[in-house]
Every structure is written in C-alpha cells, then in structure tokens.
Amino acid sequence: PVTDGPFAETKDLIAGWMVIDVETRERALQLAGELSAAPGAGGKPIHEWLEVRPFLAEPPTITE
C-alpha cells in the first residue's frame, strides 16, 4: 500500500508515551492532570487516561 509518510494515520494510533523530568511525583501528577484536561477535537477536554510512573529513578541493582 501507498502511505503519506512513515507514521500511522491518527485513527490507527492506539498508544503513546512521553518522558518528563520533574523534581517530585506531585509535579508529575499536576502535569498529567493538565494534559488530560487539554482541549481535543472541537475544543472539549480529552479526558484521556494517563499512567504516571518513575522512569530511571534509581540505578539498577545486580544480584548474582
């Protein structure tokens, strides 16, 4: 099939992720709340489900 570019059409996109660098979990939750309330199609809030979790917060430990 012929496509317009290397990216899937919006209707085919089912997931995505982003990494944010913040000092506290509370700040991450605040930003997630603002993102969920962002306007979507027609200007209405998108109210998407978001998952907040630590990413590279601590160095890995190796046990043998």
- Output the pLDDT for position 27: 95
- Output the pLDDT for position 11: 64
Instruction: Kindly report the three-state secondary structure assignment for every residue of the chain.
Output: CCCCCCCCCHHHCCCCCCCCCCCCHHHHHHHHHHHHCCECHHHCECCCCCCCCCCCCCCCCCCC
- Output the pLDDT for position 29: 93
- Output the pLDDT for position 47: 81
Domain locations in the chain as residue ranges: 19-64
- Average pLDDT of adjacent 10-residue blocks, the chain of 64 residues: 65 74 92 87 83 80 80
